[in-house]
Amino acid sequence: MNFFERQAQARRNSTRLIALFSLAVLGIVLMVGVLVLLVVGPRPGPLLAAAVATLAVIGLGSLFRISSLRSGGETVAQQLGGVPVAEDTRDPQLRRLRNVVEEMSIASGVPVPKIYVLEQEAAINAFAAGYSTSDAVVAVTRGALDRLNRDELQGVVAHEYSHILNGDMRLNIRLIGVLFGILMIGIIGRKILIHGRGFRNSATIVVIVGALAAMAVGSLGMFFGRMIKAGVSRSREVLADASAVQFTRQTAGIAGALKKIGGLDSGSRLAHREDAEEVSHMLFGDGVGLSGLFATHPPLIKRIQALEPGFRPEQLSRLQQQWMMNPPDGLQEDVALGLVAPGEALPHKDRALAVTPPMVAAQVAHPHDDDYARAHALVTAISDPLHDVATHREAAMPLVLALLFDDSDVVRGRQHTEIVARMGASVATEAAHLRETHLLELHPMLRMPLAALAFPVLRRRPRPELATFLDTVHAVVHADQQVSLFEYCLGRLLEVQLRETLDPGRYIRFGRRKPGNVKQEFATLLAVVAQAGNPGDKAAAQRAYLAGMQRVLPRDHVPYAPPAGGVQALDDVWDPLDALDPLAKQVMVEAITAAVSHDGQVSVAESELLRTICGVLHCPLPPTLEQLPH
């Protein structure tokens, strides 16, 4: 199952969630009706009033919780006591975590998420939360930092990235919201019971009896809630384990993390049980100790055996005895095992890649083989001074603006003027300085990783500053119609990701449109890509265009007509194309690849252009396209 099929499945799971929620609500309404019937008898008025009141409480509870989560994954992390990890941290454990997350992001083609640590939790656990890759948060417990070595931490983070890439996060965060509604009656009953103690008049007794009845109804809600979470979550955890193995190229990491969960007293259960209950379906390991029908995760032994078929329960018992005397220390294990990821040379910027459209579509959000090692090579290739610039609060904005500077002196002068007008002369001067000192000889494969490293810093800026920055980005990329397609798309990618950060709950949705409904948008995108890849050769551009159209609309004849506005014509295509059905997006990626590779090869620069377009359309692509030809 590839990324697009998983996205389609996630959309079906959303529909299934609505159906299960409706059945749970019906069950609660019926139970309330039975209780009212026992108290007042078969009187239609009270029964109807009870049903309406129950629906109102559930509905308002769900709406309230969904609204409270509108800011995305960061809200969940903070409610669980998470502490953000600074981009410039020098703490060895936090630096190791940030390095792993940064490399994982670059390998998968998504922005670097916000990183949190649950400092009060000694257990080994983690989760990813958010509506999209733009507002994603990865959180790990202090126990995971202390006990896991780098390979194990990498396996846990890779598991969470599977949830980020496959659309699981979006369903998980909505699940928190809707399930809160069916638990609302029980919560009200518990609050009344707590505050009603100590009173002895007859009215209070009636209230307490009502509170007990509400808690009984809440128990039914808890039953339905746990059943829904178990049904939605369990199979996805198996898939995430398998994806983590494919991502990191080894089973020892994630299997080792699972063994430490089973072998240490702290395990994976969170200390704050009530908070853990709400997010149990999104944790790496069982956070509350549920089993049987209510289990949100497969049994630990089965998860380990799926990774290491020869593993036996008695081996876990031996590990328990060993670690009881000498608990593992992750950083010490790193030293003992020599866990330093090997790098590899980047391909020459003029070297060609051999790809096919199905090959590229299969790689979307599905990093494998050497993608993680290549991501390490990319991070290693970024000098320490440049890395510090990308993660520095005051330097990140000038750096990103410098990435968008045109090669033409005339156009660059206009871009400089636009920056001065909006953000001041100092920002414009700093951007020009960074371009001259760091970016002129920058390998084209390092431009997007640099933007990815800067992204966490950018989205922490105050909303007014971020709005000004986005306006400046727009002005810089539109300073002249000769702006390159890469500069335009990178600017657009920044706008999309930062806009979603400002209001994540508003923009994220599963698309439903079909290719036949966006013919002109396809034609415009493919024409611009074909023209950009074949400047000055109209015949070659037309062949590239037709190769793409043959993939996506083989029965339609839409003539090649390069837009008069050039690259700026793309402003009108992004939203319609982003609203495509997931499986239609797969065809779209194949069509763009066919246009780019119509001559049988793809340059490194073209591959980065393809990655940028895929990023704008929420189809994250790893940083290299298969192996280089021998």
Half-sphere exposure of 120 (CA within 13 A, CB side): 13
State the amino acid at position 325 in one-letter form: M
Nearest to 88 by CA among 115, 110, 111: 115
pLDDT per position as a tens digit, 474-513: 899 888 877 777 888 888 888 888 888 877 766 666 678 8
- At residue 46, what are phi and psi to the nearest 5 degrees? -60, -40
Nearest to 565 by CA among 626, 618, 486, 488: 488
pLDDT given for residue 42 in this prediction: 80
Q: In which element (H, E) is residue 140 found?
A: strand 137-141
Cα 38 to Cα 29, 41, 205, 213: the distances in Å are: 14, 6, 18, 12
Q: Is the pLDDT score of 555 beyond 50?
A: yes
Q: Is the pLDDT score of 397 beyond 90?
A: yes
Q: How far apart are CA 270 and CA 377, in angstroms?
A: 36
pLDDT per position as a tens digit, 139-167: 999 999 999 999 999 999 988 988 887 77
321-337: average pLDDT: 87
Catalytic (active site) residue 160: yes
Q: Is the pLDDT score of 186 beyond 80?
A: no
- Between 51-60, 310-319, 519-528, the lowest mean confidence (pLDDT) is in 51-60
Half-sphere exposure of 561 (CA within 13 A, CB side): 10
Q: Which two tokens stand for residue 286?
A: 């069982």
613-621: average pLDDT: 84
Q: How far apart are the first and last CA of the chain?
A: 29
Q: How far apart are CA 54 and CA 217, in angstroms?
A: 10
Tell me if 215 sits within 8 A of 317, measured CB to CB.
Answer: no
Half-sphere exposure of 524 (CA within 13 A, CB side): 18
> Given CA atoms 448, 454, 456, 459 in this order, what sign does their dihedral have?
negative
Q: How far apart are CA 429 and CA 433, in angstroms?
A: 6
Tell me if 578 sits within 8 A of 353, measured CB to CB.
Answer: no
pLDDT given for residue 544 in this prediction: 92
Alpha helices in 435-581 (DSSP H): 447-458, 463-477, 485-502, 504-507, 519-533, 538-552, 574-578
Confidence of residue 354 (pLDDT cuts 50, 70, 90): low
Pairing of strands 137-141, 114-118: parallel
Q: How far apart are CA 332 and CA 327, in angstroms?
A: 11
Q: Is the pLDDT score of 3 beyond 60?
A: no
Enumerate the β-bridge partners of residue 116.
84, 139
pLDDT per position as a tens digit, 22-80: 888 888 888 888 888 887 778 888 888 888 888 888 888 888 887 888 777 888 899 88
Instruction: Give the residue carrying structure tokens 């792993």.
Output: 100
Tell me if 578 sits within 8 A of 601, measured CB to CB.
Answer: no
Enumerate the β-bridge partners of residue 129.
137
Axis-axis angle for helices 425-434, 396-403 (nearest 10): 60
Q: How far apart are CA 438 and CA 564, in angstroms?
A: 35
Reported in sequence order, the residue ranges of 270-361 that DSSP labels E, i.e. its strands, are 352-353
SS (H, E, C) 508-551: CCCCCECHHHHHHHHHHHHHHHHHHHCCCCHHHHHHHHHHHHHH
Confidence of residue 126 (pLDDT cuts 50, 70, 90): very high
Catalytically annotated residue among 103, 152, 160, 500: 160
Nearest to 428 by CA among 461, 389, 401: 401
Model-level pTM? 0.74
Q: How far apart are CA 541 and CA 433, in angstroms?
A: 36
**Helix, strand, or coil (residue 187):** helix
455-469: average pLDDT: 88
